[in-house]
Chain A
Amino acid sequence: MASKALYSQRDPALKKRDDFEDILDERRNSSDLRYALRCYTPVLYKGMTPCKASTLKTIVLQSEQVRYVINQVSKEMGETPDIVQEEALAILEEMAQRLQLSTIRFFAFTLSKAFKALFQSVRVNEEGIQRLQQAIHEHPVVLLPSHRSYIDFLMMSYVLYTYDLALPVIAAGMDFLGMKFVGEMLRMSGAFFIRRSFGGDKLYWAVFSEYVKTMLRNGYAPIEFFLEGTRSRTCKSLTPKLGLLNIVMDPFFKGEVFDVSLVPISISYERVLEETLYARELLGVPKPKESTSGLLKARRILSEDYGSIHVYFGQPVSVRSLAQGRINRSEYNLIPRYIPRKSSEETQSFVNDTAYMLVRRQEENMVLRPWVLIAAVLMQNLDGLDLELLTKQTVWLRGLAGAFGAFLDWPDQTPADKVVASSLALHHGLVQATGGRVRLLEGPQDPASPEEALFDQAVGVLSCASYRNQVLHVFLRPALVAVALETANTSRNDDVYSSFLYLRNVFSNEFILCPGASVQDFEEGCYLLLKCGAIQMLQQDLVVTERGQPILSFLSGMLEPFLQGYQVVCRYFSEEASEGLTEKQYIPAVRSFAVKRILSEGLKCYEALSSDLQKNALAALLRMSALRKVKAADQVTLKVNTMAVKAIEDTLGGKVPAQKPVLARL
Chain B
Amino acid sequence: MASNYNSSERQRIAQQRLKIIAGHLQKDGDGQPVRIFANDCKAEATDRRSSVARSMPKRRQEIMKWNGWGYSDSRFLFNKKGQAEFTGKRYRLSGLILPSLKDWFEGTFGANLQHKSPAVPSVSASTVPPPCLNEDFVQDVKASGVPYSHEAEDRMFRAHGHCLHEIFALREGKVGRVPDMVVWPNCHDDVVKIVELASKHNVCLIPYGGGTSVSSALECPPEETRSIVSLDTSQMNRILWIDEKNLTAHIEAGIVGQDLERVLNESGYCTGHEPDSMEFSSLGGWVATRASGMKKNIYGNIEDLVIHIKMVTPRGVIEKGCQGPRMSMGPDIHHFILGSEGTLGVVTEVTMKIRPIPEYQKYGSVVFPSFEQGVACLREIAKQRCAPASIRLMDNAQFQFGHALKPQVSSIFTSFLDGLKKFYITKFKGFDPHRLCVTTLLFEGDRERVLQHEKQVYDIAAKFGGLAAGEDNGQRGYMLTFVIAYLRDLGMEYYVIGESFETSVPWDRVLDLCRNVKERIVRECKEKGVQFPPMSTCRVTQTYDAGACVYFYFAFNYRGLADPVHVYDQVEHAAREEILANGGSLSHHHGVGKLRKQWMKESISNVGLGMLKSVKDFVDPDNIFGNRNLL
Contact = CB atoms under 8 A, between A and B. Distances in A.
Given A255-B516, A258-B519, A330 B583 contact: yes
A336 B509 CA distance: 10
A47 B520 CA distance: 15
A629 to B, nearest CB: 41
Contact of B508 (A258, A328, A329, A337): A337
Interface string A256-268: 1010000000000
Contacts of A328: 581
Contacts of A336: 508
B604 to A, nearest CB: 13
A255 B582 CA distance: 6
A332 interface: yes
B47 interface: no
B512 A330 contact: no
Interface string B489-522: 0000000000000000000110011011001100
Interface in B511-548: 512-513, 515-516, 519-520
A414 interface: no
B513 A255 contact: yes
A490 B581 CA distance: 52
Interface string B569-602: 0000000000011110000000000000000001
B519 A330 contact: no
Contacts of A337: 508
A329 B582 contact: yes
Nearest to B515: A258
A449 interface: no
Contacts of B516: 255, 258
Contacts of B509: 255
A51 to B, nearest CB: 13
Contacts of B520: 258
Given A330-B602, A337-B508, A255 B581 contact: yes
Contacts of B583: 255, 330, 332-333
B24 to A, nearest CB: 53
A330 B509 CA distance: 12
Contacts of A333: 583
Interface in A429-480: none
Interface in B295-315: none
A330 B515 contact: no
Given A258-B520, A336-B508, A329 B581 contact: yes
A119 B285 CA distance: 77
Given A329-B582, A332-B583, A256 B602 contact: no
Nearest to A337: B508
Interface string A300-331: 00000000000000000000000000001110
B515 to A, nearest CB: 6
Contacts of B508: 336-337
Interface in B385-403: none
Interface residues of A, number: 12
A258 B519 CA distance: 7
A473 B12 CA distance: 89
Interface-centre pick from A255, A256, A328, A329 (highest chain B CB count, 10 A): A255
Nearest to A258: B519
Contacts of B512: 254-256
Nearest to A252: B516
A477 B519 CA distance: 41
Interface-centre pick from A258, A329, A332 (highest chain B CB count, 10 A): A258
Interface in A310-369: 328-330, 332-333, 336-337
Interface in B346-391: none
Interface string B24-42: 0000000000000000000
Nearest to B511: A256
A202 B582 CA distance: 27
A328 B520 CA distance: 16
Contacts of B519: 258
B608 to A, nearest CB: 15
A332 B580 CA distance: 11
B271 to A, nearest CB: 34
A330 B580 contact: yes
A74 B519 CA distance: 40
A325 to B, nearest CB: 11
A35 B520 CA distance: 40
B558 to A, nearest CB: 24
Contacts of B602: 330
Nearest to A139: B519
A68 to B, nearest CB: 13
Contacts of A330: 580-581, 583, 602
Contacts of A332: 583
Contacts of A329: 581-582
A619 to B, nearest CB: 37
A333 B581 CA distance: 8
Contacts of B513: 255
Interface in B581-631: 581-583, 602
A145 to B, nearest CB: 28
B537 to A, nearest CB: 16
Contacts of A254: 512
A330 B519 CA distance: 18
A41 B54 CA distance: 66
Nearest to B505: A333
A258 B583 CA distance: 14
A258 B580 CA distance: 14
B373 to A, nearest CB: 12
Nearest to A333: B583
A610 to B, nearest CB: 47
Interface-centre pick from A47, A328, A329, A336 (highest chain B CB count, 10 A): A329
B516 to A, nearest CB: 5
A332 B512 CA distance: 13
A258 B602 CA distance: 22
A506 B581 CA distance: 40
A663 to B, nearest CB: 32
A328 B581 CA distance: 7
A333 B580 CA distance: 9
Nearest to A47: B515
A66 B508 CA distance: 16
Interface in A26-59: 47
Interface-centre pick from B513, B581, B602 (highest chain A CB count, 10 A): B581
Nearest to B518: A258
B513 to A, nearest CB: 7
A337 B510 CA distance: 13
A666 to B, nearest CB: 37
Nearest to B603: A330
A53 B581 CA distance: 32
A336 B520 CA distance: 23
A254 B509 CA distance: 9
Nearest to A332: B583
A600 to B, nearest CB: 64
Contacts of B582: 255, 329
B509 to A, nearest CB: 7
Nearest to B519: A258
A255 B579 CA distance: 10
B581 to A, nearest CB: 4
A336 B507 CA distance: 11
Interface in B213-253: none
A328 B580 CA distance: 10
B521 to A, nearest CB: 11
A44 to B, nearest CB: 15
A328 B508 CA distance: 19
Contacts of B580: 330
19 contacts: A47-B515, A254-B512, A255-B509, A255-B512, A255-B513, A255-B581, A255-B583, A256-B512, A258-B515, A258-B516, A328-B581, A329-B581, A329-B582, A330-B580, A330-B581, A330-B583, A332-B583, A333-B583, A337-B508
Given A254-B512, A255-B583, A328-B581, 5 more contacts: A255-B512, A255-B513, A258-B516, A258-B519, A330-B583
| Closest A-B pairs by Cβ, 5 of them | A329-B581, A255-B582, A333-B583, A258-B519, A255-B512
